[in-house]
Chain A
């Protein structure tokens, strides 16, 4: 049941990616609406897959790395859809969608392809701090992912403007000011949520293992990423905007992704997703 819902969600992610690209290339308004509609369907299917899973198990299943990715992808698309609908009168964000949607597709695909019986959630983790840790952390990751996509588009637009190239393709990109503004808002929100996630995470560690900090790979990686984003927030307040802020956002997200992957795949320690 869950797998079949996920498979359909994947198909809709692909279709939406295709129509996003078709809109960006052709500029047809109908394609933009189709892309949003298809993405809405994909989101609904994906969210139902996760809910069905949670109902079947009796709790939100985030025990494996792939499940985490799946949740993050779903949240990311939810936030993107909200933003796209909210800003639809002012700014055409379809080009951002053309980046966000395939990213969600990849994340979800990994959850789908590595389907394995979900690990039983260890009883010592079943306390109030788990959702308080997972919810803000995932939302933060999703929002960082969106900020990353917007920074990529920013650099594309900026390169076009500096290089004085004329292409119809790039007329449909949002303005630099819009992208920079959204980037700032997203990084701020992502940072706040990420911070909350780290705080509740250490409290969860205290509750579970008895120590706030125990030099686990996940703790070191999170702290590094946090410092990087903190630097970005600070730099922005001192006038680092535009190209540099976009570059730093991209670097931040890459570090986040690398630490996320390595913690889960290369240096498994004590964390959800890698309990032994």
Chain B
């Protein structure tokens, strides 16, 4: 059976937070779990990735379908969850698909908020645990390192991450110039767009204690509120909650202004003139720019925050396309390297390389020894062939013997030692 990279687990796409919670590995348990993972017969190498948005086991196996089954049992073990329930929410990625998935996760393309930078650090931590207990081997070492460099490339070459992140951190920085502490502050989200969601996430990460979410599609507000432990409210009722909000983030698709200076005057009076920070994330704008003239209210729109001309949908999807193209090329490169790790093609390549060297050197020698008889030439020919065979005998035997776990290691080593060209150029 062929060696393959396999990912089995749950993530935010198919599994709700209750399921993810139950499966997640607590801090300090990842090492032990990693050790147990590689004792499984079907698993040659394995890394467990456990974050708040995903619990996934990335494994290298030659056991095919059987391995999927083994990994499901591994995840469900310890009566954490019933197999049937897990199966409902399970995501399985195999082969190229698995490599692509890992790269996309690292590059934050699979994040709930595309471009959020924390995931790369989390991934590195998980890989670090696996590396420390030796559950990651030749293939996963390379696969993870590749995913880190892909993430870096996407961050520098495309605008997927930078804009969203810079806008949010600018918002947090400004808020910290207005407010002394965030802990007693409330943020109100008007509209649950990606940008406002990311800004809210940043604010929560900096200590904002409560979040109110108003969205035209109420279900979406509920969904987001569940994730952030916030309070969902019907959109029409948001004016009632305005006076509670120290920070208001707007990202609705409204055509006109949903907030005016007059309303803010009123709100401010109701909240005893405590300052408010308004962030308008939408284009066209949601908040009347004249609001900025109201005392103790500070209004920033997306241009003010990032100096970004426009972070609109088309631009973001264009950047995402660029990122996907990079991923595709990198997956291809990794795949070539992975398939080259089979012993058989490596042995063939090794033989070919030695044969080419032998032939070349023999020709050079024969060119200087012109007066040799055909018989002597034959003897030389046979001798050089014998030398090559004897030298190659031990390495090739090793390569053939080490099936499974160690094969990838020996094959990779042989390729490096004998300088057999790698298909994946660095």
- The chain A residues found within 8 Å of chain B, CB to CB, are 90-91, 157, 160-162, 164, 170-171, 173-178, 181, 239-244
The CA-CA distance from A177 to B296 in the complex, in Å, is: 11
The CA-CA distance from A56 to B179 in the complex, in Å, is: 50
The CA-CA distance from A146 to B83 in the complex, in Å, is: 68
Query: Is B269 on the interface with A (CB-CB < 8 A)?
Result: yes
Pair count A-B, CB < 8 A: 48
Query: Is B178 on the interface with A (CB-CB < 8 A)?
Result: yes
B117 CB contacts on chain A under 8 angstroms: none
Q: Flag if B298 contacts A161 (CB, 8 Å).
A: yes
The CA-CA distance from A186 to B258 in the complex, in Å, is: 39
Q: Flag if B178 contacts A241 (CB, 8 Å).
A: no
Q: Flag if B178 contacts A242 (CB, 8 Å).
A: no
| Chain A contact surface mostly | helix
The 8 Å CB contact of A242, one of B174, B273, B300, is B273
Q: Flag if A157 contacts B296 (CB, 8 Å).
A: no
A244 CB contacts on chain B under 8 angstroms: 295
Q: Flag if B304 contacts A241 (CB, 8 Å).
A: no
Query: Is B318 on the interface with A (CB-CB < 8 A)?
Result: no
The 8 Å CB contact of B177, one of A161, A181, A241, A243, is A161
Q: Flag if A162 contacts B180 (CB, 8 Å).
A: no
Query: Is B272 on the interface with A (CB-CB < 8 A)?
Result: yes
Q: Flag if A177 contacts B180 (CB, 8 Å).
A: yes
B166 CB contacts on chain A under 8 angstroms: none
Q: Which residue of B lies closest to A244 (CB)?
A: B295
The 8 Å CB contact of A178, one of B180, B272, B274, B304, is B180
Contacts A175-B179, A177-B180 hold; do A239 and B298 have CB atoms under 8 A apart? no
Interface size on B, residues (CB 8 A): 19
B300 CB contacts on chain A under 8 angstroms: 164
The 8 Å CB contact of A239, one of B173, B177, B273, B292, is B273
Q: How far is the CB of B245 from chain A (nearest CB, A)?
A: 15
Q: Which residue of A lies closest to B295 (CB)?
A: A243
Q: How far is the CB of A233 from chain B (nearest CB, A)?
A: 15
A175 CB contacts on chain B under 8 angstroms: 176-180
B181 CB contacts on chain A under 8 angstroms: 177
Q: Flag if A242 contacts B275 (CB, 8 Å).
A: yes
The CA-CA distance from A175 to B272 in the complex, in Å, is: 19
Q: Which residue of A lies closest to B181 (CB)?
A: A177
The 8 Å CB contact of A176, one of B177, B273, B292, B304, is B177
The 8 Å CB contact of A161, one of B178, B269, B272, B274, is B178
Q: Which residue of B lies closest to A176 (CB)?
A: B178
What are the 10 closest A-B residue pairs judged by CB atoms, nearest first? A177-B180, A239-B273, A178-B180, A242-B296, A239-B272, A164-B304, A175-B180, A177-B179, A176-B178, A161-B298
Q: Flag if B177 contacts A173 (CB, 8 Å).
A: yes
Q: How far is the CB of A243 from chain B (nearest CB, A)?
A: 6
Q: Flag if A176 contacts B272 (CB, 8 Å).
A: no
A240 CB contacts on chain B under 8 angstroms: 273
